[in-house]
Amino acid sequence: MTKVERSSTAEAVLGILDLNGGMSGYEVRKFMEESTANFWSESFGQIYPTLKKLLDDGLIKTEETDGGGHPAKKKYRVTDAGAARLQEWLTIPARARVPRNEFLLKLFFGGLAQPKEMRAQVEAWKTVAETDLLRDEPLLKELQMKFGKGPGRPIDYPPLPYWLMTLRYGIAEAKMTVKWCNETLAELKKLDDDYVKRGV
């Protein structure tokens, strides 16, 4: 009867557009990959239809292209109605959906495989977290430098404090994951030893 279960794709696009003034669909995606990749991403197959819908609903408007350049590059900007919609959405409590984690599912069934298989899975997972850290920790420092309260503070980008919060979340998560992986690998080693002992 009632709709329920709406996704937040429209708001994600609207928000990026609001933060960064006039952007094309391509640029929205690129910005997401550089900033929200740890917790939100959209494919072009979602972005372009979403832009069309936002336009139809009057939440964004087109801007003139810069004439020369790439084919049919369209730029969008949020309208007052769009900004209002966004602000309203920000006050609604976020829904907590359990994300599916295929790695943890495999580990849960680990007793059905040989311990060394699971060690390989955990090692791979650890590598992913370490790679994230290698990208996010330098990024945090870079952004903090731009923002820094110190004397040479070059630019003032208001959304930055919030960007940093989400970035710190990603870093804390990755660190926690690496730590847990190490503990889990030690335990798997023990199980493996027991397994071999029993096997022989």
Partner DNA sequence: ACACACATGTAATTGGTTACATGATTTC
Partner DNA sequence: GAAATCATGTAACCAATTACATGTGTGT
Assess 34 for contact with DNA (CB under 7 A). Answer: no
Assess 57 for contact with a copy of itself (CB under 8 A). Answer: no
Size of the chain, expressed as the number of residues it contains: 200
Assess 54 for contact with DNA (CB under 7 A). Answer: no
Assess 74 for contact with DNA (CB under 7 A). Answer: yes
First to last CA, the chain: 62
Residue 150's binding partner among DNA, a copy of itself, none (Cβ under 5 to 8 angstroms by kind) is none
Rg of the chain in Å (alpha carbons): 22
Assess 44 for contact with a copy of itself (CB under 8 A). Answer: no
Q: How many C-beta atoms surround the C-beta of residue 6 within 10 A?
A: 9
User: Between vectors from CA 182 to CA 136 and to CA 103, what angle results, nearest 5°?
Assistant: 75
Q: Which is nearer to a copy of itself, 21 or 161 (CB)?
A: 161
User: Between vectors from CA 32 to CA 157 and to CA 124, what angle results, nearest 5°?
Assistant: 120
Assess 147 for contact with a copy of itself (CB under 8 A). Answer: no
Question: H/E element holding 63?
Answer: strand 60-63
Closest by CA to 74, choosing from 124, 24, 113, 40, is: 24
Binding piece for a copy of itself, criterion CB under 8 A, among 23-31, 51-59, 148-156, 178-186 = 178-186
Q: Which is nearer to DNA, 55 or 191 (CB)?
A: 55
Assess 11 for contact with DNA (CB under 7 A). Answer: no
Q: Which of 56, 67, 70, 150 binds DNA (CB under 7 A)?
A: 70
